[in-house]
């Protein structure tokens, strides 16, 4: 998508130095556009855990490139297995990370040491370009939901989203935002309510930035506003992303998503979740019991970052000595989800729904 009218992806290999991977440093957006170099697998793992890059699909792609960087140093099995474990441990909730690492590792195990660097690079590039097409297709299918509402209401369609499931969380297009961008292209008037998404403010910092750059009409709201807007008919549909979807359609997404789903249910507002199939964990059924929820540092809650004196600065919000809990994600049970928007189409959030789109998984999950 565009930044200052120039087309960007979120990750690429450096021009004239293919042994360096470059990403947009999301810690300083929207205030600064800084390109961050990653030259070792350790730097790739750190970029993921430190949230230089974030968002389920993008951390998967970054990990795939991390294995390529590992191969540049050593293609020995033991070294690659250790890097694979370290990359997977960088963040626990998004299953795309483990999926991407396992995908690349399976290909590396199949070839001799001398081929591994080329195979790892090709796999990372393939996962990256597949992500672009998958997100585009999520937009194509999600557009029809927006179009249907527009045909019925004949006015601007108000979409509420939480966190950043936009192009900055993927390689391009985003998941939850792709239908919005496709609606813009189809000349359907849309407006996006952007949840600020405490504690790290991915909505205020990243989704709002995307909306400005793509010229999408939008309004930033604090996290607790959605229910009020829904009670007053000001939200036509909710679209969020997910970090892990169980085979029965439960979805883990940024903390606070569950409360939006409850409010949507109470107000008859359709609640859709947009996801690439790499987000489906076919081994899990009950999301609340089985999905590991990341807990991050207290400081992300007790402090807040912003732009002052030409730099990103952190200030304290709460008294010294107040403990804080920082659960990164929550699980929205399938019963609260109107539908799942995937690259193959829209389905019910259930095992039957998912298998209707992915019948090849019928015999491969427990």
Which residues are designated catalytic? 243
Site for ligand MRU contains 196 (CB under 6 A): no
Q: How far apart are CA 257 and CA 197, in angstroms?
A: 10
Q: Which is nearer to ligand MRU, 128 or 175 (CB)?
A: 175
Of all residues in this chain, which one has the CB nearest to ligand MRU in the complex?
241
Touching ligand MRU, residues 314-343 (CB under 6 A) = 328
Strands 17-24 and 190-195: unpaired
DSSP string, 90-155: T-SS-HHHHHHHHHHHHHHHTS-GGGHHHHHHHHHHHHHHHHHHHHHHHHHHHHHHHHHHHHHH-S
Query: 241, 207, 295: which is closest to 26 by C-alpha?
Result: 207
Figure out which of the listed residues 10, 22, 117, 253 binds ligand MRU, where binding follows CB under 6 A.
Answer: 253
Please tell me whether residue 56 binds ligand MRU under the rule CB under 6 A.
Answer: yes
The only residue of 62, 205, 242, 246 in contact with ligand MRU, by rule CB under 6 A: 242
Q: Give the span between the Cα atoms of 196 and 200, in whole angstroms.
A: 9
Distance, CA of 351 to CA of 250 (rounded, Å): 10
d(CA 184, CA 189): 7
Q: Is 54 in the site for ligand MRU (CB under 6 A)?
A: yes
Q: In whole angstroms, give the CA distance from residue 192 to residue 281.
A: 29
Site for ligand MRU in 74-113 (CB under 6 A): 94
Q: How many CB atoms lie within 10 A of CB 307?
A: 13
Contacting range for ligand MRU; rule: CB under 6 A; set: 32-40, 98-106, 223-231, 235-243: 235-243
Q: How far is the CB of 224 from ligand MRU (least distance, A)?
A: 18
Nearer to ligand MRU, 168 or 230 (CB): 168
The stretch near ligand MRU (CB under 6 A) out of 37-45, 53-61, 112-120, 312-320 is 53-61
- Please report how the helices 56-73 and 116-153 are oriented relative to each other, as an axis angle in degrees rounded to 10: 170
Nearest residue (CB) to ligand MRU, 27 versus 116: 27
Interface residues toward ligand MRU, by CB under 6 A: 54-57, 94, 163, 165, 169-170, 175, 202, 241-243, 253-254, 328
């Amino acid at each position: 998508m565009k930044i200052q009218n120039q087309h960007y992806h979120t990750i690429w290999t450096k021009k004239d130095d293919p042994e360096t991977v470059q990403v947009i440093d999301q810690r300083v957006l929207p205030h600064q556009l800084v390109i961050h170099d990653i030259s070792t697998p350790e730097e790739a793992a750190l970029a993921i855990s430190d949230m230089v890059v974030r968002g389920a699909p993008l951390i998967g792609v970054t990990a795939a490139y991390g294995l390529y960087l590992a191969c540049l140093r050593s293609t020995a099995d033991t070294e690659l297995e250790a890097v694979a474990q370290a990359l997977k441990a960088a963040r626990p909730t998004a299953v795309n990370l483990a999926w991407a690492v396992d995908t690349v590792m399976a290909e590396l195990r199949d070839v001799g040491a001398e081929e591994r660097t080329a195979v790892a690079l090709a796999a990372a590039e393939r996962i990256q370009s597949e992500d672009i097409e998958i997100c585009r297709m999520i937009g194509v299918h999600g557009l029809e939901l927006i179009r249907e509402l527009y045909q019925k209401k004949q006015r601007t369609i108000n979409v509420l989203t939480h966190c950043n499931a936009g192009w900055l969380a993927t390689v391009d297009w985003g998941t939850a935002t792709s239908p919005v961008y496709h609606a813009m292209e189809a000349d359907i008037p849309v407006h996006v309510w952007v949840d600020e998404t405490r504690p790290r403010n991915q909505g205020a910092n990243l989704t709002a930035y995307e909306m400005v750059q793509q010229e999408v009409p939008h309004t930033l709201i604090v996290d607790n506003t959605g229910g009020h807007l829904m009670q007053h008919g000001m939200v036509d549909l909710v679209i969020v992303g997910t970090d892990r979807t169980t085979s029965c359609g439960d979805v883990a997404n940024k903390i606070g998503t569950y409360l939006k789903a409850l409010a949507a249910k109470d107000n008859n507002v359709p609640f859709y979740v947009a996801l690439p199939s790499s987000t489906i964990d076919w081994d899990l059924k009950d999301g609340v019991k089985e999905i590991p929820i990341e807990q991050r540092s207290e400081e992300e809650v007790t402090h807040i970052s912003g732009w002052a004196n030409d730099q990103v600065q952190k200030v304290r919000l709460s008294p010294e000595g107040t403990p804080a809990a920082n659960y990164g994600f929550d699980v929205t049970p399938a019963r609260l989800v109107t539908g799942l928007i995937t690259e193959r189409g829209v389905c019910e959030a259930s095992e039957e729904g998912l298998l209707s789109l992915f019948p090849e998984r019928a015999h491969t999950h427990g």
